[in-house]
Amino acid sequence: MIKINKLIHFISIRKVELVVLAYILIIFIVGLTMQPVGELVDGLGKIIKAPGVLVTDYMVVASIGPALVNAALVSLIGYSMIVLSKVPFTGYSIAAVFTLLGFALLGKNVLSILPLMFGVFIYSKIKREKFSNYIYQALFCTALSPIITQTAFVFNWPHIVVLLFGTLVGIIISPIAKHTLNLHKGYNLYNMGFAAGLTGFAIMSFFTAFGYNVESQSIWGTDFDRILIPLTVSLFVSMVVLGLILSKENKIHRKKILESSGVLTTDYVIISGLGNTLINMGSVGLIGVVYIILVNGHFNGPTVGGLFTMIGFAAFGKHALSIVPIMIGVYLGASLSVYEINSPGPMLAALFGTCLAPITGKFGPIAGIIAGFLHLQLVSVTGQVHGGMNLYNNGFSAGFVAMLFVAIIEGFEKFKKNA
């Protein structure tokens, strides 16, 4: 009886960690069942050596099985770092782990993330602070993982040089991210994407100056709908069901999520509990699924990566009401421009562009639609600045959109005060 009570107590205090771990393991197991072990290992090798620049669909590069296994392993590394650092597992942790899970389907792998993380670790030592204070910077800075695969397998730099270069990038990106947050005042949930875009621009300039060319690519799967639609729907529905079970005694806090602005930092696990957060995560994921189907898009590595990132940040700033206006804005932007609604750029803009949800949450749906409209126009060109080496290109573009909104709104507020 004592052992059972201890187990119940352990589960109660670790339930956030255990739920996240369960979903990682589900993805891992599904990946393992897709193909024979030999093909999985061969596929992981292909993923590790792929350039990884936007847009690289690992499901095309190596098939669904290896892509899912890689995603699970990458997210498990991030998960383990949070747990071992003894950082409280909250909504921010969920956002970080699911972002790793998502982007490991289109640009990150188990090796390319490590030098950048190590660089942040070195930075923490330079600052003489605990690494746990920088754990999230270490996880999110892996947005620049393609610089590792580019320099190692395309430019053929010596591995020690690649490691040193990746470490240097990891060292410098943390202070950059700190300052970019001040520019958009928390209205861009993917702040590291903004910082990584600026860093990637500098790196791209360096490569160009020394004669290294980064070739753009568009590897985009179209044959995986039959498998991925049931998988994603099942995962997201299970989150809603599990959330309803866990939040039976916490219904009063459910509205807190929908009433929040989502401006950084808004941690839904802290303000509303795990159960209500899971309901929000599943709902946001299902909205993303419905959007893809309605515009006749395809389920592949990049779009499923977008869905996983959406549900991750549905624990840290996004909710069902705040993302829809952004998606409508992107849809209108594509409909009224030369872009095809279901082509890669607009598809990813609609999913990842929901990082601008705080604009809706703070200023209303009309502002959200305008933000989504502007975001599509910007994100369609910002990738050229960093050569596709910043996987969080939507976060880069959203940083500029949020800056414009903040500047204009604050300008008019000052005008009103002086009038």
- 70-90 pLDDT, tens digit per residue, is 999 999 999 999 999 999 999
Band (401; pLDDT cuts 50, 70, 90): very high
- 291-349 pLDDT, tens digit per residue, is 999 999 999 999 999 999 999 999 999 999 999 999 999 999 999 999 999 999 999 99
CA dist., res. 408 & res. 419, Å (int)? 16
Question: Do 112 and 145 form a contact (C-beta atoms < 8 A)?
Answer: yes
37 three-state secondary structure: helix
pLDDT for residue 310: 98
Q: What percentage of the chain has pLDDT greater than the value 70?
A: 94
pLDDT for residue 260: 93
Band (196; pLDDT cuts 50, 70, 90): very high
